[in-house]
Structure formats: structure tokens, C-alpha cells
Structure 1
Amino acid sequence: MLMKMRLMGLLFAVLFYTGVDAQQKRSLTHDDYDGWESLSAERITKNGKWVGYMISPQDGDARLEILPYTDPNQKTIIHRAQGWSFSPDDAFAVGKIVPQKDSVRMLKLKKAKKDDMPKDSLFILNLSAGKIEKMANVKSFDIPSEEGSWIAIHFEKEKPVKKDEADSTAKAEKPKKTDGTKLQVRSLDGSKSYEFERVKSYGFSGDGKFLQYVLAEEDTLDNAAIYLLNLNSGESMAVHEGNTEYSRVSFSPKSTYLAFISTNDSSKAEKPYYQLYLTPTEALALEELVNKDSEGILDNGRLSSDAGIRFTEDERRLFFGVAEDYVDYAYKSDTTILDEERVSLDIWGWQDAEIQPMQLRNKSREERRAYTATMDLASKKITQLEDREVNNIILENKIERDFALVWTDAPYRRNYSWDVQIGRDVYLIDFTSGQKTLVEKSLPGYPSLSPEGNYVTWYASNDSTWMAYDIAQKNKINLTQGLDVDFYEELHDSPSLPGSYGTAGWLAKDEAILINDRYDIWKIDPKNPSQAINITQGMGRANAIEFRRLSLDREERSIDPKATLYLTAFNEVNKQSGLYQTSINAKSAPKEILMTDHRYYGFNKAKNSDEITVRRSTYQENPDLHLGDLTLKNLRKVSNLNPQQANVKWGSVELVSYLANDGVPLQGLLFKPENFDANKKYPMMVYFYERNSNGLHNYRSPAPSASTINIPYFVSNDYLVFVPDIKYDLGLPGPSAYNCIIPGVQSIVARGFVDADNMAIQGQSWGGYQVAYLITQTNMFKAAGAGAPVVNMTSAYGGIRWGTGMSRMFQYEQTQSRIGGTLWEKPIYYLENSPLFFMDRVKTPVLIMHNDEDGAVPWYQGIEMFMALKRLNQPAWLLQYNGEDHNLRQRKNRKDLSVRLSQFFDHYLKGAPAPLWMTEGLPAVEKGKTLKYELED
């Protein structure tokens, strides 16, 4: 009896303290954002023995954590690390250490000079010994990309030293004028070291055998020069000296050659001419390959310094850029005209391929445009591959063939303002002769070459099929014709042509291509496409599981048909995800490795072993890094993001199903507060933007808002948040939103725990449009937030997306706005889907955000909405962040918006006092002097 009483007492104590702990949890505040952490830059050594990753707060100092794969408890933590990597020999980790953010901030407050600001440092961690070496005043560093155990450290300029430190009146020695500083090149273990002064730029060969470095000019005494350091012998040799500039320095893939571009023209010259040089690395024998007079380059062309130099893998050929020669415009060079007398205007011509805003956005790129040419290093013959008509060549990461794809959309470019799915004329171009062979006129989509160069493939969106072009036979092949499955995006619901689900790679020797449908993967032999094999055996479609091949080799060219095929899996119904395995021969159905109520992503496998890293998350579980192998058994969590979350009321999310007004089944996400009580009534926020339910297991960080409500913040502060999916009928974007969102909201209200008198909606951009439309159709919401809303499709149709310079016509005719025709073809659709014309129905208080440098939606749309509501005497506020884009970029503004969103909705849905910015406004004379966050008494 006594034992039973003790057990009951113990149980009571546990329950009591558990209850106390639960009660002690607090709601998120806006002050929590800065310290909320995320993980990035995860890496694993090639031998699989070491793992590292960065953990960064949203605002503050990051840290690097490095640990042995077999003993995650033995972490080395390097604070304020940045730009880190493992060395190619898996023996070291290197990276920068940046100054403490608070220290930099304090110095900025004190108006410290740039030279007095703290500089970056460098760390070198010996992994096996656990020893860290640090160096101060570092500008940059580099290590070889493939092999070797070397590091090059480029230091900042040293401060001038006074001649007599004891004499405070002594003048500092005048520094020499040069862009160069000290470069130290050393083995990572410190056993070898070389130093060079006034270095301007540098770089290793991939195999770590050589390092090139360029010396800057110093006053007028020492000329610029380029040198080559042999890391095996330690010998540094002058490659060339005396010119004013050396750039685009490149090693060939096997380090046989060093190539660079140089000029002896003055650095102030408006029209410098360049030369391309090449030398073997083992025995310098410099040769000038290309100059402005070289035969074979573009007519009236010159060597461009804006394009890099590349080699074929066999090092028999190199590629470079040619620019059009300078044009001496008489008006531009007329020195008798004052700047104030020069005319500045834009002329919009109906015949132009691109409208003026697009031309202006692309102006600097076009001024630097270079047309690719190639040289055979044996014959020194130059072949111009791109020209003014056909100027888009596709050179792969490793150039292994003697031809490439090249294309142009010039014949169709004029239509791009309203047709973003214009075709392109695609050719094969021979590197030796420059001869072009037509593959397809007005080809839709983007073509690619098979690994062995036997086929060109593309997705033909105009008839929703995958096509191949047999290069040897010069004939087209319909790869998917006759298969009883669709290869276009089945949920596509805009007036544009649907896209595809992509491909999963080629088998070795181009024997077959793997093509995805919505759920399954097909193996298709271009020589016999009618015998296509569903290698997932229809299991994906039968179970609504999306299978996608997991590629674990970043250098993979083609798929080994004998290797195990790993498949990521996502269940569209219950949102589980995981991993399966199967084989290319499809003799058996895919075998489940793991399927759980998580999101798995970021698989990363060691190059030479079976160890992997992977991220895993739910709404409640941070996306921490886990270690394991491809069985995914006994995954070990090694990072520990945001331990403070345990003290915060977080809440949960559930998947809900409901029917749209037309009877179509839909899904949505319902986020519930911590310790949810179905017998209580909660205010509810409704947020939407097309389809979101597949993100059930996404972790959502508390963060200041760029434009939309932060769901964890509102849930933590005892709001329900509902996120419904939306499917659209063409020509009816507004009614479609109503038909999907309203029944979804009603289905949640019917559960009995929603305070139906205190609900609000909020959305941004397309979501902002839908908010504006809904409040003209229903008064069921107590308040609304609309960010960057299009309210007048008739005026927006003729506007410009200033971020790209494109006309907005395409958006209404083909994409998201879904009208499906021009303003003059479908004027009624434009009017009836425009909330502005029905603003007199609005009875809902609205908070609008629309910024004056919005590059996507003309900000006068927000003004039109605000002025209509002001004229109708309806409560409305317009937040216009100066110099800000479609979504807020500056953190200070994001924090401000977060405060105002919460104050606005708390006032209307919770009865909280209104802030002064809502009741008094913020007069222009008070701008920048106060924020008016204070609440009314």
C-alpha cells in the first residue's frame, strides 16, 4: 500500500512538473527571429570519415561544426567561419573567419574608417590531429579542386608603418601605388612555403601541380607580369611581363597548358585590344594564339576579355570569346557638346525584337556579349561558332566531343512580350568546319545531347511528347508516342502549354533514356521506343507515389545498368516520403527502404565510400543533418538546431481534405496552437498561394516577413492558420479562388473550434490578388492583408514587369493570371476578374503593402486599391517601403512589416488596442522620426 502511494505521489509529481513546464512555455515574439538557426554548406570527405556543416542565426555570428563520421560527439567548433571546404586529400578543413558582427556594428556606429575595420582571418584544421592554425588579415584563399594538399593565402594590404614608432610626430611612409598584396603558397601541413609580393590574382591547376599568379603594376617602376609556380619543384617562372593587364587565366584539364588574355593598352584606354596566349606548363614556350588580326574570327571582331577560356578534355582544342569591334559614334565622341546639352531618350519601336525596358535591363550584358570561337591547337585553325544570328551555344561541363548544340530564337523574339513559350531554331555545329546542321525549327523547350553524343532530346510541349534526334541517321524519333500514360504536367491549369516531369539520365553507351511521368520512370531505347519499359512497374501511379531517381555521383555522365537504382519517394495522398531501391532491368517492383511522416532531402554521399548525410524535417522537427547509409537504418542526428524551440509554444499541423464547390477533392494544411483544445474557439488566419499541401512536413522557421504572415509566429500566439489548395479554371482566376478557398474555410469552421466571427485572410502577389477578389465576394472575414495585389487587370495588362523589363501581357494570356486571351479578345473576363470594379462591395478592413520599386507588379495597383477604398470611406492602410521590391529585401523592413501585420490582425481578431500608426497615421513630417508602434490607451 505504501509502495502504491509512493508511486502515485511520484506520478503526481511528474504530471505536476510536466504541466508546469507546459505552462511555462511562451509564445514566439518578434525578438526571436534573429537567433533562429538554419543549417547549410554540409560536406562529407571523399573517404566518408569526416563531416562538416554551417549553423547560422538569421542575424548574428555563424559557426562551423566538424566531426568524425564515427564519433559525432567529438565536434570541433569554429566560430564565425565562412566559405569553408575539405582539402582534396581529406586531411584538412580550411575556411575564413569573419569579424564578430557586433564589433563591426559598434565600429560603424563610431564612423570608423574602412582601413580601421577588422579584417577576415583564415583557419586550417588538421583533421586527424585536431589542431587549428589561424592567420590574420586575409583577403582570400584557394585550394586545388581535385588533388593536392596546398593552400594559397592572399593577404590584405598592410597598414603603413611609421619610421619611428617612438616619435608620434614622424610621418608614415608613403605606400606604393599597387593593387597587389602578399601571397603565401604553402602545403597545408606547413612543411613547404613560398611568398610573393604585389600579387593581384592567382589560381591552382585542378590537380594541384601548378599555381599561376599575376603581379600588379607598382607605381611606374615595376610592370605587371604573370608567373607559374611548379609546386613539385618550387620553381617560379615568369611566363610574360610588361603588359598592363593579365586576365582569364586558365589551366587545361590535365594541366598541360596555361592560357590567358592580356593587353598592353593603357588601363584608361576606352578601346583596349587583347591577345590570347598559350604555353605548356612543364617547359615554358609562350605563343600568341589570337589577336585582332587573326583569321577566322568574327568579321569586325576582336578578342573579348569578358569571356573565359575553356579546353576540351583531351586538351586538343580551346574556346574563347570574340566581341564586336568598337564603333566610334560621332555624336558620342563629339567633345564640343556639353553633358547638359546631350539628348537622353528611349525610343520604343514597334519593329524591335525586345521592348525598350528589356533592352535597358539587358544593356550591360549586351555590351559585354562575346561570341564563342574555338581553335585547334595542332593546326591553329580558328572556327567561329557563334555569330550575331545564332549566338547560344551549349558547351557542357566537360567538353568531350567535336560538336555542340547551338540555337537562336531571333525569328520569334518579337513575340516574347506576350508569348513566353516561343520556339528556337536548333542546330548541331561542327567545331572544325563551323558547319551547322539543322535539328529542328521552332523547337519548343531546351534541347540536350546524350552523353555519348548520339542523340539530341527535348520535350515537345506543343504535343506533350518526348522527342529524340538521331544524329547519325538525321531523323527524329517520337520516344513516348503510343504509351498509355501522360508525360505532361497533369495538374497544369494555366493557358500555357504544360511542361514535363523531366528525365532521369541516360544509360551507358546511350542505350536508353529514363523519362519520368507523374509517378513512374520509363526506360526508353531510342532505337526501339515501342518497347519502352516502366521500370517502377506502375507502382507509383497505383499508389500515388512519385518516384524519382536519386543521383549520388555529381560527376556521373551516364547510368551503370548493373548498379542499384535508388529512388526518392513521395506519397501525394498522405505526404509521406522516403527511399526505395530497384534495378534498371525492372524484374521486380521497387523495394521500400523507408517511408515515414517526414521530409527527406539533401542526400549527399561520400565519393569513395557508402556513408551519406541527409536532412530530415517535419513542421515540428528542425531539418537537422543526419548520418547513415543508404539503408537509412539507425540515422544519427548530429546537428542540434534551435534548442530554444523546446521552450516555445510551437503547435502542430494536420492534413485536411475537403471538396471545392464544384465537387473536386482538395487538400489543405491546418496549423493548430500548442495544447490545442477542440472545445475552445480560436481566431483563424487563412493564407493561400495555389497549392501548398505537399509541404506538410516542411519545417517553417520563425522569421521576419518579406511579404506574408509567418505561420509559426501566429500559431505560437494562439491562432489557427489554414492553408487551402486551389485549382483553377481557365479564364476564371477569381471565381476559382472563391470556389476552393471558401468551402475549405467552411469545412474547418464546421469542426466547431473556429471563432467564425474572427477570421482573416492574407496573401502576397498572386495571393494578394485573390485576397482583393475575395473581399468583394464575401464579408465572412473580419480583416484582410493584401501584398502587391493586382486589382485592375485592364491597367495591369499593359504594364511592365520592371524586374525583367518584360511586358505583363504574357501573364494574362498564358500564365498565372489565366485569362487566356488579349484584353480586346476577352474584355469581360478582364473586368469581371478585376476586384477594383467591385470595391463598393468591400466591408472588410484591409492592410495593403505595395512598394515603389516592385519589379513584378506595378505598384500603382496597390494605389488603385487604396484610393478606391479611401474614396468609399472603408478602413484601409497602404504600407509603401521606399526603394523596396516585390518582396522586402532589407531585414529592417521585414521586421517592421512583421510588427505591423501582427498588430493589425491582433486588433481585429483578438480585440487588442490599435497601434498609433493605424489610428493617427504617420504624417510625412514624422517620417523617420517615429514608428508609431505604441498602442492606444
Structure 2
Amino acid sequence: MFTKQNLSIFLIFFLLWQNGFAQQKRSLNHSDYDGWESLSSEKITKNGKFAGYQISPQDGDGRLEIFSTSSPGKKTVVYRSSGFSFTPDDAFAVGKILPQKDSVKLLKLQKKKGDDLPKDSLFLMNLASGQIEKLARVKSFAIPSEKGSWIAIQFEKEEDKKKEEADSTAKEEKPKKTDGTKLLVRTLDGRESWEFDRVKAFGFAPNGDFLQYTLAEEEKEDNAAVYLLDLATGQSRLIHEKMTTYSNLVFSPQSSYLSFIATDDSLKAKKPLHTLYVYDVKKKDLGIQLEKSGVKFPNGRISPDGSVRFSEDESRLFFGVADEYKAYAYESDTTILDEERVSLDIWGWQDEEIQPMQLKNKANEQKKTYMAVLDLNRLEVTQLATHEVDNVILENKINKDFALAWTDSPYRRSYSWDIQIGRDLYWVDFKTGNQTLIEKNASGFPRVSPAGKYVYWYDGRDSAWVAFDMASKAKINLTTAIPVPFYEELHDSPSLPGSYGSEGWIEGDAAILINDRYDIWKIDPINPSAAVNLTQGQGRSSLITFRREALKSDEQFIDPKETLILSAFHEKTKENGFFSTTYEGKSAPKPLLMSSHRYYGLTKAKESTQVLVRRSSYQDNPDVYLTDLSFKNLNKVSNLNPQQAGVKWGSVELVDYLANDGTPLQGLLFKPEGFDRSKKYPMMVYFYERNSDGLHNYRAPAPSRSTINIPFFVSNDYLVFVPDIKYELGLPGPSAFNCIIPGVQTVIAKGGVDTDNMAIQGQSWGGYQVAYLITQTNMFKAAGAGAPVVNMTSAYGGIRWGTGMSRMFQYEQTQSRIGGTLWEKPMYYLENSPLFMMDRVQTPVLIMHNDEDGAVPWYQGIEMFMAMKRLNKPAWLLQYNGEDHNLTQRKNAKDLSIRLSQFFDHYLKGAPAPLWMTEGLPAVEKGRTLKYELAD
């Protein structure tokens, strides 16, 4: 009999067991990073019968998991797979298999290089039978993009064979050197196959009818060539031979033509002349050979650096021409030694771009091309791009008789301080090359509607969507009559606000779908005032952001008869999910799925209703789920990181609070496992603009590229608070204070915070705010500032070396939010610069600023460190050699993670300081020790 006494005993034992189980969980440590998995490349066959995804640890060997959607619990695993695809016939999965990472590392430690290291393999998996075929030493492979049951496999060079000792006197003929290797072309089932030697490049026609391949030259022989393999007959045709290089081989959409560019000039020639060839596949005729003389560009030549594309109807071939190479006497003077040549940069005030931008873009400028078109019926060339209007925009599928063209050259000189310069818009006729002006100094990035009736764009200056009617040549304001804003409502910088984007056009250009902050509008350009709110205003009234899910990867226009699937995000609760409605807009959207998760990566099978979708929360890995468009049954098919169950993970809470000016804001409070408000926990505060929408984002334990890893600190019994920040123009520092401090105070009032042990950390713009805050308050016991701007006056005129741009735009228009020049608003620059208040700082600081930072001048970190050193205040500067704004090398990220945790553990938990903090790391010990050891 189960009495109350027995029940009490049972509950006591249950609680003891539960507490014991909780105690068995451990905190994350730095060794956990490498094995933590992420998922990518989820794919589903067109018929929806099979799906797969790639799982990769942060460092180590990954795997591919493939399953039948009818029995998703049964998976076929391909270990060390990389870059897989399903074949167009839905019959096979194909991809590479990488060498075992530990084996490669061991060989590298033995100083093995190049050909002595293991090579990639290839796998072919028959989806119906599950059988897997593997081929070794594979260099590359290809399958047709649209249809066909073929694969082409290029192998690595054959391994050197040891000479037979039996015939030591025999002279063996040395093989001639060539860049080419063996190519195997075969059916996926292996029933038919062909082999070709010394192949350099190859590619299928999209419809899988043909394969082109190029033979490489052999040593001392001029025998490079282009061949065409007819996959229906197995016959291989010689198309052309005996050129130095062949490039840009492109099939027309229906395989009627094969085009390529070739030259017989030396590879070292400074001005090689190229010829454009067009081979008629059906007529077996290389009838079109376009040389320099056929180009309609002044002093122009055919360029191998431009893209080559056919129109959808195969009547036109688009290609690039370039200016003739210009020879200079000084450059070609052979009487001057290299050490005698002058090397300098001249910065001219009249230049469109400043010298650092020119140098950054030099390689692209040297390969600059101007688009031209060859009419394959009339055999006439029309020049489309010119020196004056040099940008022509071709669509994914070229099915119109015109294209957009634009230039920003008249306004380019202002780009160093105005990144929202205008552009002159034109449409260019493919038959005549005539350029017709659409608008001067337009604000926005134009596109052409699918049926070609309109050119449309978002005009930032008018905060409106506009269209240009190609028939009437009239400009239409699409959104002015709609009583809601279409600009970003939370925009808080001195630049023009952006838009919420558009969702595409209804078939026949009958209407365009445009987003406001919450809802989607269907707007007929002929009658914009009759716009229809497809989501019935439910988004704005409910604070739900609706966005259309594009379910077709190759969609050109929207079929209005289809169901409209919407993603949905609640602005306040952060719930996420999917709704459905119609393109008529006569009824409110119907909820299909809404929960406290993040949903993303919706992938639909082309020929069925099966879909894959990712779902995550802070506790739940972003696993793949299988469902259909009803979203009624979500079947979890992947299982990332089962080891997380044994780790203290914690939770996240949404915090509502008011900024000092009364603005409602939100923040994220990450809490340790078993959080008890009656206890006191050290707290880290991290910030960067607004982050609260990421409530349900999964955050993987990973080495720090610049900022604290939230799961690591939470697992190690820290609270981590991430507040949102709203900015007032001209007051970035005070704005940060007015939003961050009230947020911290709100969290403190909730309980559980050890107010004597709180710290702040941020990177870049967050690093600036850290530097500013510690000049305004002593409430934080330690601070970490990555790449901080501390002196806006010295940073203002500097260069962002990653782009070559002047930093002026950042202060006048974007993130720094000053809203004027240094000479217009000098006090704003001074009062927002922490350097001039550094004597107020009482907080120990760990700074990271790297010597190849391309975004924030490295000397900013030095200025902060030297001020702290001069003032005899505790500060350390971590400078990773050769690293950019955020760390890119994993070894350095691991190092930073260790130092961040040691620094904050020392100040917030009373842990012993490591030797690098107490003794430093003298230059003579650099590379010999890391000094992680803790001081006695």
C-alpha cells in the first residue's frame, strides 16, 4: 500500500536524485569548443522523397546525414563529407570526402607537403538502394544543373611510381609536364563512361545534353584544345585547338551554342589580343569568330575578365570589352634599375576616389570591362556600356530587349563623406545601344519588373517606393497614398532611413508587393491609391511582422493563385512562426504555427509540399525539422550536440525597462542553470545596438573572435545582460549611458545580482561605449573594450583600410551619429570622446586592438592604453599580429577566450590573476610562453 509516508519518502529521494543529477552537470570549458557542432547545407530532392544536411564540428571531421522523408529516423551517414548535392534526376547524392583532419595534421608535423598529403575522395550514393560508391584522389566534379544522369570527375595527378629495379639500365622517357589531369565522364549508375587525359577545365550544359572540356598544353607543345562531348552518342568533337589559353566556356540555355574566349599570345604578354568564338552545336560549325576589329568600343578589345552570357531565347550573346593596354615610356624604360624607380602615391583633391580606395580597387580597375552584345542572327555587335555610363545590370534570366544602366561618377567625389550619393539611371536598348535617361541623381538601387513594364526602386530621399513606367515614361509614387510609413521607423542615425524591402511582382506586372514595418501591401502601379493590405493590418495592430516566404528558388514572378505563406515575428514577445493567406487580401492571415522559438531556413521540395525548416531557442540547438506547408506535424530529423545535456546551460529572460528619457526598451538576461534570486551572481553586461529580437537565437560555445561567448560565461555561473540602445543624434555616448545603466538597474532590482562584481564588455562600436561608460560611472568592477574608438577627433580624418574609405561618413551619417563635420560640431566630437575624460576612470580595462584592423584605426586602442598607463591605472592591450578587426585565426580566438575568462574571473570571482596580467609578456619571451599560469 502506497501511504502518505511512503509518498513523502519517495519525494525526498526524488529531490535528492534530481539534485544529484544536476550536480553531475559540469560547466563549459575551453576544450568544448572544437567538438561543438553546427548544421548547414540542408537540401531536399525535387520530388520531396529524400533530404540531407551537413553536420560539422568547429574543428574536426564532419559528416553528411541523408534520409528518406518517409522514414526520417533511418539515416545514411557519410563521414568527412563536404559540399554535397542531389542529382537533377533525384536518384543520387554526390559529394566529396575530405581526408581525416588528424592524419593531415600528423603528416604536416612530419613536414610533409603538397603531393605527399592525402587527397579528397568522391562518393556517389544511390538513394533508392542506399549503396555508396567511392572514388579516390578526386580534384573536382560536376553534375548538370537542370536535368540529366551524368557526372564528370577530374582526378588529381597520378602518384609517381617507383622505377623497376629489374631493368636499372633502361632509359625511361620522362612524361611531359602539363596542368591537365584525367577526366572521367559517366552515367551516375556507371553503365556508360568515357575517359580523357590532360583535361584542364570542363562543364556540363544545363540540360545535360553535352559536356565541354579543355585540354591543357603539354610541355614544349602548342596543343591546348576545346572539345565537345555529345552525351547521347558518346562522340567527342574537336571544336578548336592550338591557342595559349581558353576561357569563359558557356553553353546557351538550350545547348544550341557553346561560346568561349581564346588567345594565342604569350601568357606574359601585357596586351594579349583575344577572340570570341561561338560554336553552333547543331550545325557543328564554328562560324562566329569575333576579333578586336569587330568591337564597337573606342580603342577596345575583347576581355576574358568580363562575364559571357546568352539571352534566354539564345539570340544574343553578352560579353565584356576593355580598354587597350596603355604603355608608358617610364614603365617600359629598360635602362632604369628597379631600385631606381620612384614609388609614391599622389592624393589629388580633384580625384573621384581617394588614393587608398583606388589602391584597394586597383586589381578590379585593371580588369574593368564594358558590356557589349552580339546579335547571333544579324551578327552585329552593339556596345551597351560606355566610359560615361559604365554599369549595365543584366537579370538572372535575360528575356527582355533592354537593361538598366547607371553611373555615379558625377557624385563619386563626395563618397568619402556621403555614402548615400545618387546615381544617374538609364535604360539601354540591346538593338541600338541607345541610352535613355530615366532619372538624374536618383536615390536608390533600381530593378526591372519581371515583364519589363516598370523600373522600380526605393527612394530614400522621399522615403517612398517609386516606379518608372517604360511605356509612358512617367514616374509613379507607389506608396504616397498609403497612410503608413515605408521607411525604417526605428532608424536613429543621421543617414537617410532605409526601407523594409519588397516581396516581388504578381504575374504580368499586375502588382508589386511592398513591406511596411509589419504588413504587406499589394500595389497596382496603374492605381496605387487602391493598394490592398494583404495582411489586413493585422501585423500593425498585433505588433507582428509578416514577410512572404519565397518557396521557389528560381521564381521570376508570383503566381496569384498560390497560397501565400508568411513568416511571422511578434515584436514584443519574440514569438515566431508561420501564417497563410491569399494574394487577394480579402481575409486576415490564418496562423499555422506560432511558438517561443526562432524558425528560419524554410526549404520546400520543388514538386511536393514537403519542407525542411530550422528551429531553435537559447536552450535548443537549431535542428532541422521535416513537415509540410500545413506545419501541423514537425518531425525533428537532426540531433545536434547531445553532449549539451550534460552541461550546465542556463536560460534567457526578456527584460522590459525604461530608458532615462522614458523610452520603453527591452534586453536579454541570460541566467545560470538553477538560478536562484536569493543568491548573488557576478554579472557581465554586453551590448551592441539592439539585440532583444534574438531572444530565441541559439548561441553555440565558440572561441571569441572579439566578444564574450555568452553560453560559456552563463555556464560558469555568470549572469549576462544584453540591453537594447536607442540613440539621440549627436549624443552616442550619453545615449548609451541613458539606455544601458537603467537596464542594469532594472535587472539589479529583480534580484540575484552581485552589485559589487559587475563588468562590461563590447567590441568596435560596443568597445567605444565601454570606454565611454567607464568615464561616467564606477559601478563596474572590470571592463573589456575591443577595437574602441576613444578619440573621435583623430579618428574622424582616418582611413578604414579594409575598404580604403575615409572615416568621415561614419561620424557624419552612420553609426557614430554626430551628424556633422569636425569643424561644424567640434564640441560633439570632444564630449563624446572618452580619451578626454580618461582621468576619471577607476575601472581596470582589458583592450584588444589588432595591428591590421581595417575598420577602426589601431592607434585608437594605443591612445586608450597609453592614457591608462600614464594615469597609472590597470590596463592591458592585446594586439594579435596580422589580425583584422575581429580575429580570423582560430588559434588566436582560443587564446582570447582564455584571457577574457581569466581577466573577468580574477576581478569578479576573486580568482588568482594569470602571469600575463601580473608579469606581462616581455618581447624576449614572445612565442616561447603564453603565461596562462595563475600567480601564487
Query: Normalising TM by the smaller chain, what interval?
Result: over 0.9
Q: SS where residue 185 of structure 1 aligns? A: strand
- Counterpart position of 1:74: 74
Q: Which residue identity is paired with 1:480?
A: T
User: Are 1:206 and 2:218 matched, yes or no?
Assistant: no
- Counterpart position of 1:502: 501
User: Are 1:832 and 2:831 matched, yes or no?
Assistant: yes
Q: SS where residue 397 of structure 1 aligns? A: coil
| 1:574-623 deviations in Å (ceiling 9; x for gaps) | 00000001111111111111110000000000000000000000000000
Give the length in aligned residue pairs.
936
Q: Which residue identity is paired with 1:507?
A: I
How do 1:511-526 and structure 2 match up within 5 A?
A: 511-526=510-525
Q: CA deviation at 1:292?
A: 1.1
Q: Which residue identity is paired with 1:123?
A: F
Q: CA deviation at 1:244?
A: 1.4
Q: Give unpaired runs (5+ residues) of structure 2.
A: none
Q: Compare 553-562 and 447-456 and name the one that shifted more.
A: 553-562
Q: 1:748 to 1:167 in 2, by over 3 A?
A: farther
- Counterpart position of 1:632: 631
Asked if structure 1 preserves the Cα contact closer than 8 Å seen for 2:249 and 2:259, the reply is yes
Asked if structure 1 preserves the Cα contact closer than 8 Å seen for 2:481 and 2:528, the reply is no
Q: CA RMSD in A?
A: 1.2
Q: SS where residue 750 of structure 2 aligns? A: coil
Q: Compare 560-569 and 794-803 and name the one that shifted more.
A: 560-569
- Counterpart position of 2:92: 92
Q: CA deviation at 1:12?
A: 4.6
Q: Compare 641-650 and 258-267 and name the one that shifted more.
A: 258-267
- Counterpart position of 1:127: 127
How do 1:362-441 and structure 2 match up within 5 A?
A: 362-441=361-440
Q: CA deviation at 1:174?
A: 3.0
User: Are 1:277 and 2:277 matched, yes or no?
Assistant: yes
Q: CA deviation at 1:852?
A: 0.4
Q: CA deviation at 1:173?
A: 5.9
Q: CA deviation at 1:308?
A: 2.3
User: Are 1:571 and 2:564 matched, yes or no?
Assistant: no
Q: 2-side partners of 1:726 and 1:922: how far apart?
A: 37
Q: 2-side partners of 1:74 and 1:683: how far apart?
A: 45
Q: Which residue identity is paired with 1:734?
A: G
Asked if structure 1 preserves the Cα contact closer than 8 Å seen for 2:392 and 2:405, the reply is yes
- Counterpart position of 1:189: 189
Asked if structure 2 preserves the Cα contact closer than 8 Å seen for 1:201 and 1:214, the reply is yes
Q: 2-side partners of 1:923 and 1:680: how far apart?
A: 41
- Counterpart position of 2:321: 322
- Counterpart position of 2:152: 152
| 1:685-721 deviations in Å (ceiling 9; x for gaps) | 0000010000000000000000000000000000000
Q: Which residue identity is paired with 1:577?
A: N
Q: 1-side partners of 2:170 and 2:512: how far apart?
A: 75
Q: CA deviation at 1:210?
A: 0.1
| 1:132-158 deviations in Å (ceiling 9; x for gaps) | 000101100000000001000000001
- Counterpart position of 2:593: 594
Q: SS where residue 107 of structure 1 aligns? A: helix
Q: Compare 175-184 and 683-692 and name the one that shifted more.
A: 175-184
Q: CA deviation at 1:168?
A: 8.8
Q: CA deviation at 1:290?
A: 1.6
Q: 1:133 to 1:381 in 2, by over 3 A?
A: same
Q: CA deviation at 1:163?
A: 3.4
- Counterpart position of 2:17: 17
Asked if structure 1 preserves the Cα contact closer than 8 Å seen for 2:28 and 2:712, the reply is yes
Q: 2-side partners of 1:843 and 1:412: how far apart?
A: 47
Percent identical pairs in the alignment equals 71
Asked if structure 1 preserves the Cα contact closer than 8 Å seen for 2:222 and 2:243, the reply is no
Q: SS where residue 903 of structure 2 aligns? A: helix
Q: TM-score normalised to the size of structure 2?
A: 0.99
| 1:460-483 deviations in Å (ceiling 9; x for gaps) | 111101111000000001111122
Q: 2-side partners of 1:222 and 1:332: how far apart?
A: 31
Q: Which residue identity is paired with 1:605?
A: K
How do 1:251-266 and structure 2 match up within 5 A?
A: 251-266=251-266
- Counterpart position of 1:463: 462
How do 1:674-685 and structure 2 match up within 5 A?
A: 674-685=673-684
Q: Compare 171-180 and 314-323 and name the one that shifted more.
A: 171-180
Asked if structure 2 preserves the Cα contact closer than 8 Å seen for 1:163 and 1:170, the reply is no
Q: 1-side partners of 2:676 and 2:159: how far apart?
A: 65
Q: CA deviation at 1:897?
A: 0.3
Asked if structure 1 preserves the Cα contact closer than 8 Å seen for 2:222 and 2:244, the reply is no
- Counterpart position of 2:35: 35
Q: 1-side partners of 2:503 and 2:307: how far apart?
A: 30
Q: SS where residue 71 of structure 2 aligns? A: coil
Asked if structure 2 preserves the Cα contact closer than 8 Å seen for 1:289 and 1:380, the reply is no
Q: 2-side partners of 1:173 and 1:417: how far apart?
A: 62
- Counterpart position of 2:811: 812
Q: 1:313 to 1:869 in 2, by over 3 A?
A: same
- Counterpart position of 1:653: 652
Asked if structure 2 preserves the Cα contact closer than 8 Å seen for 1:160 and 1:175, the reply is no
Q: SS where residue 285 of structure 2 aligns? A: coil
- Counterpart position of 1:802: 801
Q: 2-side partners of 1:398 and 1:544: how far apart?
A: 38
Q: CA deviation at 1:533?
A: 1.1
User: Are 1:580 and 2:579 matched, yes or no?
Assistant: yes
Q: Which residue identity is paired with 2:632?
A: K
- Counterpart position of 2:725: 726
Q: 1-side partners of 2:461 and 2:175: how far apart?
A: 66
- Counterpart position of 1:935: 934
Q: 2-side partners of 1:826 and 1:171: how far apart?
A: 83
Q: Which residue identity is paired with 1:68?
A: S
Q: Which residue identity is paired with 1:18?
A: Q
| 1:412-453 deviations in Å (ceiling 9; x for gaps) | 000000000000000000001001111111111100111000
Q: 1:165 to 1:319 in 2, by over 3 A?
A: farther
Q: Which residue identity is paired with 2:18?
A: T
Asked if structure 2 preserves the Cα contact closer than 8 Å seen for 1:160 and 1:174, the reply is no
| 1:788-833 deviations in Å (ceiling 9; x for gaps) | 0000000000000000000000000000000000000000000000
| 1:247-275 deviations in Å (ceiling 9; x for gaps) | 10000001110000011112232221100
Q: 1-side partners of 2:783 and 2:219: how far apart?
A: 64
Q: CA deviation at 1:646?
A: 0.2
Q: 1-side partners of 2:302 and 2:465: how far apart?
A: 39
Q: Compare 857-866 and 558-567 and name the one that shifted more.
A: 558-567
Q: CA deviation at 1:113?
A: 2.8
- Counterpart position of 2:490: 491
- Counterpart position of 2:850: 851
Q: 1:172 to 1:869 in 2, by over 3 A?
A: farther
- Counterpart position of 2:710: 711
Q: SS where residue 741 of structure 1 aligns? A: helix
Asked if structure 1 preserves the Cα contact closer than 8 Å seen for 2:597 and 2:616, the reply is yes
Q: 1:509 to 1:644 in 2, by over 3 A?
A: same
Asked if structure 1 preserves the Cα contact closer than 8 Å seen for 2:295 and 2:302, the reply is no
Q: SS where residue 73 of structure 1 aligns? A: strand
Q: CA deviation at 1:128?
A: 0.4
Q: Compare 550-559 and 833-842 and name the one that shifted more.
A: 550-559
Q: 1:143 to 1:840 in 2, by over 3 A?
A: same
Asked if structure 1 preserves the Cα contact closer than 8 Å seen for 2:308 and 2:318, the reply is yes
Q: CA deviation at 1:328?
A: 1.1
Q: Which residue identity is paired with 1:588?
A: S
